[in-house]
Amino acid sequence: MGLDFLGRVAIVTGAGGGLGRAHALALAARGAKVVVNDLGGGRDGVGAHSGAAQAVAQEILAAGGVAMANTASVSDAHAVQALVDEVIGRWGRIDVLVNNAGILRDKSFAKMSVDDFRAVMDVHVMGAVHCCKAVWPHMVAQHYGRIVMTTSSSGLYGNFGQSNYGSAKMALVGLMQTLAIEGAKHQIRVNSLAPTAATRMTEGLMPAAVLEALQPDAVVPAMLLLASEDAPTRVTLCAGAGHFGAAHVTLTRGAWVGVGEDAPERLATLLPHVLDATGALVPESGSVQGQHEVSQATAHLRGQ
């Protein structure tokens, strides 16, 4: 097999079922030592049970792989740090982190409590932050690391009833962008995966026939690629039902409007041109936007 993880150590969060389980099994089958992390709570994050993580770890061991189970909540920074310390003590390194843990508390924004919004942000966003922060110094020291964020079309494009989930998932793309830039000199590559799969998280959200086509295993190839030695960096792959695409945050060429009292009216007139995606850019960093704007203004002023 081309994508080989022999000698690598991987942590997969939310690996007690669904996509996380599929990720953990695939990494183990290709030679990785795998930490199966799962709190064992409900889809809404309530409760805890060690059975889910233990079952997947046993499944890996029974197949001849190497695994350990862990039930830390990714929203607990101290528990995550203890997990990472244990892995380093046992296996000496951490090569791959798949931030997959997540919860759902879907409601329209008008009916959603702030507590439900915060709970989803804590697990998805701060959970990924805690895990990245804990593994980062080890990846820097070994001059190697692969981190996969789990984003979602709900974050990239929006979805009714998921303002909390969508906000969290788009935040992970922002985290990916900066960590990829900061990690480049240390050979740490950071990417995002936007999966569409039939899991506990999607039960009741799609027709049964659609869910049948969206098996978690169909998403795994994208994760393996993004976690591999030859992985790209700062890539967001969308995957589902065996189809793969890439999502980009782009910047249109736009138009120079200038300043002055009538600038709002001029902008309104030029808005179709500003929104035109022809020749859109994929900026290398946030500063590129400012550089683009200044260059356009300078070009206009020189032409006067």
What single string gives the DSSP state of each residue in the chain?
--S--TT-EEEEETTTSHHHHHHHHHHHHTT-EEEEE-----TTS----THHHHHHHHHHHHTT-EEEEE---TT-HHHHHHHHHHHHHHHS---EEEE-------B-TTT--HHHHHHHHIIIIIHHHHHHHHHHHHHHHHT-EEEEEE--HHHHT--TTBHHHHHHHHHHHHHHHHHHHHHGGGTEEEEEEEE---SGGGTTTS-HHHHHH--GGGTHHHHHHHHSTT--SS-EEEEETTEEEEE---B--------STTHHHHHHHHHHHHH--TT-B--SSTHHHHHHHHHHHHHHHHH-
Q: Residue 236 and residue 223: Cα distance in Å, rounded?
A: 11
Q: Residue 288 and residue 10: Cα distance in Å, rounded?
A: 34
Q: Is 165 a catalytic residue?
A: yes
Nearest partner of 131 among 244, 11, 31, 7, judged by Cα = 11
Q: Which of 148, 165, 195, 202 is catalytic?
A: 165
Q: Which residues are catalytic?
A: 165
